[in-house]
């Protein structure tokens, strides 16, 4: 299986990144291949509801780096959406990406792909309800399969490294993919 991991935290090597790495480590044990990208390295302009993706070639006509990500998403079997909780939702950069997923409504190119959510937050799982609901409903809309979530409590940069239980949980989740 090809896994694409999207890191929606601006802090490279921090909690989201560490948890996703653990999943990928586990997945690698089973022969899955993966690619991880940092969304903050990409220029992703906002969806402007021009609806060009709803007609003609059904492609987004905004010229930016999102087109590289479109190809990667289309080529993956499983996509990990990694984002810390920012105000009970995803980070701004992750939301820009989600809004730009509109071409997939018509093309159905994400249909039957699996989606995984990885989200650290200060408050932990109890703060993640709206985010999970948003992703699950969006996956449903696109015909994707919700394949699980890793929610962990962490606040400081890289703090999750000290939480062996959560690291093991993420690794085992990856192993079971």
Ligand X SMILES: Cc1cc2nc3c(=O)[nH]c(=O)nc-3n(C[C@H](O)[C@H](O)[C@H](O)COP(=O)(O)O)c2cc1C
Q: Which residues bind ligand X (CB under 6 A)?
A: 9, 11, 14-16, 84-88, 120-123, 127, 154-155, 157
Cα–Cα distance measured from residue 83 to residue 150, given in angstroms and rounded to the nearest whole number: 11
Nearer to ligand X, 46 or 129 (CB): 129
Shortest distance in whole angstroms from residue 37 CB to ligand X? 15
Shortest distance in whole angstroms from residue 168 CB to ligand X? 18
In our burial notation (b when 16+ CB lie closer than 10 A, e otherwise), range 99-131 reads: ebbbbbeebebbeebbbbbbbbbeebeebbeeb
Shortest distance in whole angstroms from residue 149 CB to ligand X? 15
Nearer to ligand X, 115 or 120 (CB): 120
Nearer to ligand X, 42 or 58 (CB): 42
Identify the three-state secondary structure at position 36. strand
Shortest distance in whole angstroms from residue 77 CB to ligand X? 24
Place of tokens 């007609």: 55
- Two tokens at 167? 């690291």
Nearer to ligand X, 103 or 174 (CB): 174
- Two tokens at 174? 């990856």
């Amino acid at each position: 299986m090809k896994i694409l991991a999207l890191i929606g935290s601006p802090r490279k090597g921090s909690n989201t990144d560490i948890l996703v790495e653990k999943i990928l480590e586990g997945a690698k044990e089973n022969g899955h291949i993966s690619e991880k990208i940092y969304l903050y390295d990409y220029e992703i302009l906002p969806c402007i509801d021009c609806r060009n993706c709803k007609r003609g070639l059904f492609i987004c006509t905004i010229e930016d780096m999102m087109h590289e990500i479109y190809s990667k998403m289309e080529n993956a079997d499983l996509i990990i959406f990694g984002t810390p909780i920012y105000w009970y939702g995803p980070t701004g950069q992750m939301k820009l990406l989600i809004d730009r997923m509109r071409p997939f409504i018509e093309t159905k190119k994400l249909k039957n792909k699996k989606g995984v959510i990885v989200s650290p937050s200060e408050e932990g799982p109890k703060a993640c309800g709206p985010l999970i609901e948003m992703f699950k409903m969006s996956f449903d809309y696109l015909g994707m399969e919700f394949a699980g979530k890793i929610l962990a409590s962490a606040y400081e940069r890289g703090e999750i490294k000290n939480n062996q239980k959560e690291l093991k949980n993420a690794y085992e989740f990856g192993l079971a993919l």
